[in-house]
Amino acid sequence: MKSLAELKAIRDKVQGQVGLRSEAEAGTRVVVGMATCGIASGARPVLNALSEAVQEKKLDNVAVVQTGCIGLCQYEPIVEVIEQGKEKVTYIKMTPEKAMEVVNRHLIGGHVVTEYTIQSALK
C-alpha cells in the first residue's frame, strides 16, 4: 500500500459489512417474512438481495432483518418497511428484482412503490 487512496478503497469495501454490526438503532427496518411459507415461496433470495443492496449502497440507517410468519401466507414473500414516524408499508409477492426496485425507489428515493403493496392487490 503506497497511498491513502488504497487504504480508502479497502475501507469502502469493508465498511458496509462491518456496519451491519452497529448497535445504534436503525431508523428504518426492512423485515422479511422467513417462516416456512415465506421460504417455500422464495423469501431467501429476496432477503439476500435486500441485505446485499443495503450493504453495497451503504444505507447505514437501514437494517434488514427476518421475522416469522406474518399470517398472510398466500401473499408471501412479504417484505415490510418500517420507518420511524411513518405508517408501515407491506410489499407482497416479492422477487429479488422487485426488491431492488424497493431499495432504489423507496429506501433511497423515499417514494413507496405502490404497485407492489398489499393495498394495491386488495383493490
Partner 1 sequence: MYRSHVLVCGGTGCTSSGSQQIQDLLKAEIEKAGLSKEVSVVQTGCHGLCALGPIMIVYPEGTFYSMVKPEYIPEIVQEHLLKGRVVKKYVYEETIDNDEIKPLVETAFYKKQHRIALRNCGVINPENIDEYIGTRGYEALGKVLTEMTPEQVIDTILASGLRGRGGAGFPTGKKWQLARNLVQDGGQKYVCCNADEGDPGAFMDRSVLEGDPHVVLEAMAIAGYAIGASQGYIYVRAEYPIAVERLTIAIGQAREYGLLGKNIFGTDFSFDIDLRLGAGAFVCGEETALMTSIEGNRGEPRPRPPFPAVKGLFARPTILNNVETWANIPQIILNGPEWFASMGTEKSKGTKVFALGGKINNTGLVEIPMGTTLREVIEEIGGGIPNGKKFKAAQTGGPSGGCIPVEHFDVPIDYDNLIAIGSMMGSGGLIVMDEDNCMVDIAKFFLQFTVDESCGKCTPCRIGTKRLLEMLEKVTDGKATLEDLDKMEELCNYIKANALCGLGQTAPNPVLSTLRYFRDEYVAHVVDKKCPAGVCKSLLTYTIDPETCIGCGMCAKGCPADAISRTDYVAPGHKLASMSIDPAKCVKCGACMGTCKFKAISKK
Residues in contact with partner 1 by CB under 8 A are 1-4, 7, 10-11, 13-15, 17-18, 20-21, 23-26, 32-36, 39, 44, 47-48, 50-52, 55-56, 63-68
Bridge-based pairing state of the strands 62-67 and 28-33: parallel
- Whichever of 10 and 121 has its CB closer to partner 1, that residue is 10
- In the complex, the smallest distance separating the C-beta of residue 63 from partner 1, rounded to whole angstroms, is 4
Q: Which of 65, 116, 67 is nearest to 92 (CA)?
A: 116
Contact 105, 111 (CB under 8 A): yes
Please give the grid coordinates belonging to residue 112: 413507496
- In the complex, the smallest distance separating the C-beta of residue 34 from partner 1, rounded to whole angstroms, is 4
- In the complex, the smallest distance separating the C-beta of residue 32 from partner 1, rounded to whole angstroms, is 7
- Whichever of 21 and 111 has its CB closer to partner 1, that residue is 21
- In the complex, the smallest distance separating the C-beta of residue 123 from partner 1, rounded to whole angstroms, is 29
Strands, sheet with 79-83, edge to edge from the N-terminal-most edge strand? 62-67, 28-33, 79-83, 89-91
